[in-house]
Amino acid sequence: MPAILTTGAITVPVQYIEPWLGKVQNGSTIAALSGALPMLFGNGSSMTFDIGEAEYVGEGANKGPSNITPTVKTVKPFKFHKTVRWTDEVKWADEDHQLQVVEQILGLIQPSLSRALDYGVFHAINPANGAAVAAMTDRLTATTSSVEVAAAAPYTYLDAADTLVLANGYVPSDVALDPSFAARFSTARGTNSEQKLYPNFKLGTEVSELDGHRASVSKTVGAAGVAASATNLKAVVGDFSGIRWGIQRQVGLEMIEYGDPDGQGDLKRNNQVAFRAEVVYGWGIADLGAFAKVVDAVA
């Protein structure tokens, strides 16, 4: 029987590469709430300008100058990978089933690479071990605008976070929530009523509406069970258009037949092959003042 995959690097079929951004959006609150930018590999910069407001000129009066204030934000590249080992017998499957094998491999790899974007942008951590990554200097949890959540109605803290963002001159149009905090909204009912207070709100990364905000829900926000120490983060409110991110290199799928690519022993000796996919994200945060975090006061 012919081998189902050729040796060395293989290219994932086009129909899988093209919807990659869509798949990232289904697994990442950052991707769901902020649009990706085209990026080249390596360090880059994002520049914005503020020219203030227009000047009124009276009849016969002189026109004054318009001041230009440029703001430059650095965008850095960060690589993530996922390596999956497979028994050697996968190579002997009938060629007619090759596409199904690729689907299975991508099904295992893609969600973790999508979540990696959130773990980096929210917490600047390595998702594999939860440790802080010194090179990731931009993270949303570094914002100094903070609200402590306790036992009051959940909208109380959402309103308080809105107030902080507005005070910094931004519009709090978006919110990313940890499921434990999001559940307090999804289960809220009117007084003596079975009617949900937020019927359009959904517990998923897909964008829905929550009290006038574009909302996305994921466990990546709180990073429980992933971060090396508890983050206590329950939500981030703000203008997510201020996050500059993109995929600097498309995801490729490589079949590795020789050596020890992940420290688990020689592939040939163990009658195994390894499949590896990598993605290089680039991101930067224009202004942390555009965001407020909601944290657990008890924790």
- CATH code of the domain containing 281: 3.30.2320.10
- Whether 46 is covered by a domain: the verdict is no
What is the layout of strands, in order, in the sheet containing 44-50?
Answer: 9-10, 243-256, 272-285, 69-87, 44-50
Band of pLDDT at residue 113, cut at 50, 70 and 90: confident
Q: In this predicted model, which residue has the larger pLDDT, 147 or 3?
A: 147
What's residue 239's pLDDT? 95
- pTM of the entire structure? 0.78
Q: Which residues, 6+ apart, have CB-to-CB distance to 56 below 8 Å?
A: none
- Whether 174 is covered by a domain: the verdict is yes
What's residue 68's pLDDT? 72
> How many domains does the structure of the chain reveal?
1
- Whether 55 is covered by a domain: the verdict is no
The DSSP H or E segment spanning 243 is strand 243-256
Band of pLDDT at residue 282, cut at 50, 70 and 90: confident
The DSSP H or E segment spanning 294 is strand 291-296
Helix and strand counts by DSSP (H, E) for the chain? 6, 11
- Whether 81 is covered by a domain: the verdict is yes
What's residue 17's pLDDT? 43
Q: In this predicted model, which residue has the larger pLDDT, 94 or 188?
A: 188
What's residue 269's pLDDT? 84
- Whether 57 is covered by a domain: the verdict is no
Q: What percent of the chain has pLDDT over 90?
A: 38
Q: What percent of the chain has pLDDT over 70?
A: 75
pLDDT exceeds 70 at position 9: no
What is the gyration radius of the CA atoms in the chain, in angstroms?
Answer: 23
Residues β-bridged to residue 9: 254
Q: In this predicted model, which residue has the larger pLDDT, 298 or 17?
A: 298
